[in-house]
């Protein structure tokens, strides 16, 4: 091997080694970016989730026990979160604060859906006197982001920010029907959780129902989430921010007959169309 050829081969080998090292480092960095958490943010999130799930103010000692954090860390986090108004102290416990409420409302405000929803829901309520709900799809769950109550009471499980499995509620089915079967199969297992005895628990059966919803534009669920309650929902579409949105109404079964069910169904599909025009 001549000196010139030898140097060229060595240069190519070194170049290949450098490229391999670069790609290896890039992959390692990419993996770190996907998995690395900022510890302080994770601790704050754990505390906020514990407070959000509680029905009343939670004491610092209970938060330390629930989150597994030391009491000194919990006290420091609580003091900082309180200064930011993300939490508030009430007697000897803590609860979610008005500052966090303000930040959370930006989720709906950015898509400019609030005004259109209130207008459309108000018209629906004036005509049908039934509650109206707006929800987004988050993974395999629906999250309620807005609600307008009727003039008469109804027992609901749709507090703002609450979640339900998408496969068992009309809102979730309307949202899943906005996706392809392949996308639904990727998200949901073959066996589905039963919330009530009437919940669909087979993915194959759900896929058949989604095909019907796509054809009619209406999702209907009877007592799959709560006994004595029926829900009618329609898919609105995707917002400019990419959120999948649907609208629904929940009606006690005792208030339904074929004529009223038809009126409610038409009304909720029309409301979805009204909201879709505002996206």
Picking from 64, 86, 102, the residue at the C-terminal end of a domain is 102
Of 100-104, 111-115, 199-203, 210-214, the least confident: 111-115
Picking from 48, 76, 102, the residue at the C-terminal end of a domain is 102
The 3-class SS string of the chain reads: CCHHHHHHHHHHHHHHHHHHHHHHHHHHHHHHHHHCCCHHHHHHHHHHHHHHHCCCCECHHHHHHHHCCCHHHHHHHHHHHHHCCCEEEECCEEEECHHHHHHHHHHHHCCCHHHHHHHHHHHHHHHHCCCEEEEEEECCEEEEEEEECCCCCCCCCCCCCCEEECCCCHHHHHHHHCCCHHHHHHHCCCECCCCCCCCCCEHHHHHHHHHHHHHHCCEEEECCCCCCEEEEEEEEEECCCCCEEEEEEEEEHHHCCHHHHHHHHHHHHHHHHHHHCCC
How many structural domains comprise the chain? 2
Query: Are 143 and 51 within one domain?
Result: no
Confidence check: pLDDT of 201 > 80: yes
For position 66, what pLDDT does the model report?
92
* pLDDT tens by residue, 128-178: 999 999 999 999 999 999 999 888 766 666 678 889 999 999 999 999 999
Residue 260 counted as domain residue:
yes
Query: Are 96 and 119 within one domain?
Result: no
Query: Are 84 and 179 within one domain?
Result: no
Residue 18 counted as domain residue:
no
Confidence check: pLDDT of 221 > 50: yes
* Interatomic CA distance for residues 72 and 223, integer angstroms: 47
**pTM, entire model:** 0.74
For position 157, what pLDDT does the model report?
63
Residue 11 counted as domain residue:
no
For position 11, what pLDDT does the model report?
43
Residue 16 counted as domain residue:
no
List the domain range (segments joined by +) for residue 94: 39-102
Residue 115 counted as domain residue:
yes
Q: Are 265 and 256 in contact (CB under 8 A)?
A: no
Query: Are 262 and 220 within one domain?
Result: yes
* pLDDT tens by residue, 28-41: 434 444 567 788 89
Q: Are 160 and 136 in contact (CB under 8 A)?
A: no
Query: Are 63 and 192 within one domain?
Result: no
Q: Are 144 and 161 in contact (CB under 8 A)?
A: yes
Residue 270 counted as domain residue:
yes
Confidence check: pLDDT of 186 > 80: yes
Residue 34 counted as domain residue:
no
CATH at 95: 1.10.10.10
Residue 31 counted as domain residue:
no
């Amino acid at each position: 091997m001549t000196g010139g050829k030898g140097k060229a081969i060595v240069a190519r080998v070194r170049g290949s080694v450098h490229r391999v090292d670069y790609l290896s480092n890039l992959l390692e960095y990419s993996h770190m970016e996907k998995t690395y958490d900022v510890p302080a943010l994770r601790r704050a999130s754990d505390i906020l989730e514990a407070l959000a799930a509680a029905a009343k103010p939670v004491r610092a000692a209970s938060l330390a026990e629930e989150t597994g954090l030391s009491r000194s860390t919990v006290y420091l986090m609580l003091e900082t979160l309180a200064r930011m108004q993300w939490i508030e102290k009430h007697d000897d416990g803590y609860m979610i604060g008005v500052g966090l409420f303000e930040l959370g409302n930006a989720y709906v405000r950015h898509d400019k859906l609030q005004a259109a929803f209130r207008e459309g829901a108000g018209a629906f309520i004036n005509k049908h006197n039934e509650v109206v709900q707006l929800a987004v799809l988050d993974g395999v769950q629906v999250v309620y982001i807005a609600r307008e109550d009727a003039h008469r009471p109804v027992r609901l499980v749709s507090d703002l920010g609450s979640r339900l499995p998408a496969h068992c509620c009309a809102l979730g089915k309307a949202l899943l029907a906005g996706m392809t079967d392949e996308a639904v199969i990727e998200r949901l297992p073959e066996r589905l959780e039963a919330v009530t005895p009437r919940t669909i628990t087979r993915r194959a059966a759900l896929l058949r129902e989604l095909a019907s919803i796509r054809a009619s534009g209406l999702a209907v669920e009877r007592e799959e989430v709560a006994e004595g309650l029926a829900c009618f929902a329609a898919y609105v579409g995707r917002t400019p921010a990419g959120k999948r949105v649907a609208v629904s109404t929940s009606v006690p079964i005792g208030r339904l007959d074929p004529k009223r069910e038809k009126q409610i169904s038409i009304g909720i599909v029309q409301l979805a169309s009204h909201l879709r025009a505002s996206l």
